[in-house]
Amino acid sequence: MTLCVIPARGGSKGVPRKNLLDVGGKPLIVWTIEHALAVPGLDVVVSTDDEEIADVARAAGARVPWLRPEELARDTTPTEPVVRHAIEQVTAERGRPEAVMLLQATSPVRHDDTLARALAEFAETGVDSMVGVVEQPPFIWQAGDPPTAAYDVAARPRRQDLTPEARRYRETGSLYVTRTGIYEQHDNRLGGRIGMFVMHEDEGIDIDTELDVALALRLMGRSSS
C-alpha cells in the first residue's frame, strides 16, 4: 500500500486560510486531493488541525480519520513529524504502508499523469526516495567573497548544449515519494538512494501570494493534459 499524505494546517501567513482559498472555483486543497484520488491504489489522507479543512477534504473524497494534534500544527512544526504521525495512525488502522507520497496542497498545477508517472518511476528505478524538481536555467550564482557561479564563466554554455551533468534543477515541494523505512530511520522525506522526478516547468508554481494564484489559474488553463 502507498499512503498519500496531504498536510494542510489551518493557519497560514502569506495568504490567510490559504488551503481553502477559492482557486478556479474550488478550494485550493481540493485540486491536490483530486489529483491523488485519480491514481488507483493510493490511500489519500489529509492531515489537518482544522475542522473546516477536514470537512472540505472529506467532501472532496479524501480520508480525514483524525485531527492533527496541536503540537504538530505550529508555525515551526516541520513536515516530517506530521508524516510520521500519519504513518503511525494508518499503520494502527490499516497496516504499515510500503511507501508514502507526500503532496503539497499549495501546488495546484499538476498534469493528469504526473502522480502516476512519479509512482511508476519510483518503482522502476528502485530508489529509496524521490523528489519532484523542475529544470532551471544553469546560470546560478552563490553569494560569497567572491561570489561563485555554477557554470564556467569563461565558457558560457548555451542551454541547448548543456550536458546532463551541467543541468540544474529546483525542488518544487509539490511531491515526494519515500519508502516508509526512510522516515523511520532518518526522520526525513529524503534519504537512502535519492532520485529526481523531473516535472513539467509549469508544475513548479507554489501558492504563497495573490499573484501566485493568478499565475496558477493561467497555467492551469494551459495544463489540461
Give residues with Cβ within 8 angstroms of 126, minimum separation 6. Answer: 193
Give the C-alpha separation, 84 to 74, whole Å.
16
Encode pLDDT of 127-150 as tens digits: 999 999 999 988 889 999 999 998
- Rounded-to-integer distance, Cα 92 and Cα 102, Å: 19
Q: Fill in the amino acid letter for 200.
A: H
The full 3-state SS of 84-115, as one line of letters, equals: HHHHHHHHHHHCCCCEEEEECCCCCCCCCCHH
- The CATH fold of domain 2-133+169-221: Spore Coat Polysaccharide Biosynthesis Protein SpsA; Chain A (3.90.550)
- Average pLDDT over the chain reads 92
Q: Are 7 and 80 in contact (CB under 8 A)?
A: no
Ranges of each domain in the chain:
2-133+169-221
Judged on CB neighbours under 10 Å (0-12, 13-18, 19+), 34 is middle
CB contact set of 192 (below 8 Å; sequence gap of 6+) = 127, 128, 129, 179, 182, 186
Report the catalytic residues.
156
- Mean local confidence (pLDDT), 4-29: 88
For 19-70, the pLDDT digits (tens) are: 999 998 999 999 999 999 999 999 999 999 999 999 999 999 999 999 999 9
User: Residue 65 is which amino acid?
Assistant: P
Euclidean distance between the first and final Cα of the chain, in Å? 27
Spatial contact of 90 and 180, defined as CB atoms under 8 Å apart:
no
Whether the CB-CB separation of 5 and 86 falls below 8 Å is answered with: yes
Say if CB 21 and CB 27 are below 8 A apart.
yes
